[in-house]
Structure 1
């Protein structure tokens, strides 16, 4: 089977969704299928082999100019298309010191994209639709609902089924002003019927996003979040018994990821356990620099117990980070729809402590590799850290179960198999696939 995945670049940062889309394509290929990964907005950035094609649709620079300048829109494509080359977008992004992917900065542009064939970006939507028509895959999967403005034109040219995987769209939409969010949700809901189905990574998020975007839940199927655990093996030797008990955080440095809750909890824990350590890694968006500087100022008062390690760029650096910690915690403020960092930690035998909301209860039920605490409760989090510090055997049991659970239920093979099963079931219920699936 040939599946085209239309993904969204992360404006030069490591983005969990586009990284998972890349891994998804690789899983399908490993299972004997064909996958074409098609970037939009910007090239994707991953810490493994990049499987995306060397072309960007809805190129971020042209999309911005098309949405804001009638004169620019009127220019012939020959004068504009060079700005969609991946190398050009990447170079301009670096030169500009990064490109914002914050909803607060992109509200009007979001509505322009959702207007589709009736809006200022119809040329970009038509280009993507024609490419997919000529590619002629067995199914097309859009990586987020914000691209749905292109679906109507695509369905005019392409006879196969079109799906949308929802993996955090609400987080972006919640950053919009109430008026813009209402308009965006209305436009997405109005175009929902044009999709043949929707995909989510958990039953929680399926139900949550279906209600949020007013989508029919019966049109959903779920696939497991997945990583290639062979890239993050359990270390041959456990951490030395005399090494300081070390808590890790590895995610975007942002309020919604709950780093402030972790700092709160570690301050409490550190009062009774001054020998404990906290290591913090992850991408820092420009808009959160001042917020993180305030957290660093608090951390400096803990006698060097807290270390900010930046954003590891390679798999080896990521492996080194997980080898250096005893437990991982990313106590999110929001209802996390994915949580790849949980799977990564568990794959290396590191147990996790997570809030009992979002996708985490399902992830930990499947893997048995961690403990749940009440959300936004630093005291409960600190108590759990102290419990695990005192019980090395429990940490080992959780880590071993988690490593096994990731490999059994969240492997690339499990992801590929669930994808094909879901598409087959959808095809049987809608009779929309042009060919019989293998």
Structure 2
């Protein structure tokens, strides 16, 4: 979504912009950049998987590659991605970082040929540091500037089995030197990755993510009941289990007997076991009628969901690089309650649209909810201040201006 929002704003500013989908079709909850549907998918997930396993598929004809890149097949593969082993993820990640010497050379040549013959860019942006292996050859063939974005690669790399974890970290650090500009979505993540990679302070620039504000607004009607909400992938890494435990504590121990919990976000087949486990836990304490689930919702439904909340939390277990869901909630006038760590501190301090609680477990989260639910005046102040600061710092328009300053070698504006 960040890439699409940025591309649309750059297009509005008169820039010629193309998005090249990698691995899978883009899944967006907003209108895509004009012309995106006519752009081929590169390094299609099925082709890459087959070519990593069997050399036969590195020589298949173009029509077969195109078949494997069909939207239906790729979306089916995405729904079942949880079945791919951690070892396979590690092998494929390392191959992408060594792409010129890997079994993906055929796929890389397709990308290079398209860029030379059709795209002809002045700047190529790589949307993740895991694509750092592409930079060197793109620069040699096209003579262009490379801008590379970080977006939370550490949690993926740290989840790989050895020896792939260490090998991928080391190789990514080496290959990042081929990019002209490295960009992080937050000051926290810039410093964090500089430390992890052994880079000098200031080597990774900062460009906060932003959202298109259209539709995001505070509801005219407050929720009928005090309602806490969660909007992220329904998984343990995002803290869904902590969210449920905190809600149970809020209801059973802190006296908020009328509180409700709403959970929304992406849910894959691999997430179903956790969701079912949590539903059973909620039912066991008699709260199942007061917890509502909304998997895989649209943009319109997402906005309506956020507007129905009193408070918002995503108690992530890992050091989150940004957290666009916080900006969306604050833009709807909903105060956020987040762990006192990572980029959350930065976003809460910049917007004034919430609080950070000591990361000591679900009870601490519930205590923070209880405190804010008991103080409507404070919530109103957070709601009004937060919305104004999102407009000032976290819009897609501001993001595109920052990008243009970066790409032209200028310092970011201070406003």
Counterparts of residues 32-431 of structure 1 (less than 5 Å): 32-51=14-33, 52-53=36-37, 54-84=39-69, 88-94=70-76, 97-100=79-82, 104=86, 105-134=88-117, 135-235=119-219, 237-239=220-222, 243-271=224-252, 272-300=255-283, 301-304=285-288, 306-425=290-409
Change (3 A) 1:426 1:101: farther
Structure 1 spans left out of the alignment, 5+ residues:
1-18, 428-438
Q: Say which SS state the counterpart of residue 14 (structure 2) adopts.
A: coil
Unmatched runs of 5 consecutive residues or more in structure 2:
none
Q: 1: distance between equivalents of 2:100 and 2:78?
A: 30
2: CA distance between counterparts of 1:248 and 1:107?
Answer: 34
Structure 2 residue matching 1:281: 3-state secondary structure: strand
Query: What do the CA deviations read for 1:93-142 (whole angstroms, capped 9, x no partner)?
Result: 33885334977252212122222111110111122122223322221110
Query: What is the Cα deviation at residue 78 of structure 1?
Result: 4.4
Q: Report the RMSD for the aligned CA atoms in angstroms.
A: 2.0
1:31 counterpart residue number: 13
- Bigger mean CA deviation after superposition, 245-254 or 23-32: 23-32
TM-score (norm 1): 0.87
1:340 CA drift (Å) = 0.8
SS at match of 2:125: strand
Question: TM-score scaled by structure 2?
Answer: 0.91
Q: Which moved more, 1:25-34 or 1:343-352?
A: 25-34
CA contact (8 A) 1:278 1:305 kept: no
Deviates more, 1:214-223 or 1:295-304: 214-223
Partners of 1:179 and 1:269 in 2: CA distance: 43
The CA distance in 2 between the partners of 1:96 and 1:334, in whole Å, is 23
Measure, in 2, the Cα distance between the counterparts of 1:297 and 1:76. Answer: 50
Cα offset, 1:212, TM superposition: 2.2
Query: Tell me, what secondary structure is at the counterpart of 1:80?
Result: helix
What displacement does 1:64 show?
A: 0.9
CA distance in 1, matches of 2:289, 2:373: 15
Number of aligned positions between the proteins: 403
Counterpart CA distance in 2 for 1:329 and 1:302 is 22
The answer to whether the 8 A contact 2:183-2:204 is kept is yes
Distance in 1 (alpha carbons) for counterparts of 2:130 and 2:291: 37
Give the drift of 1:209. 1.6
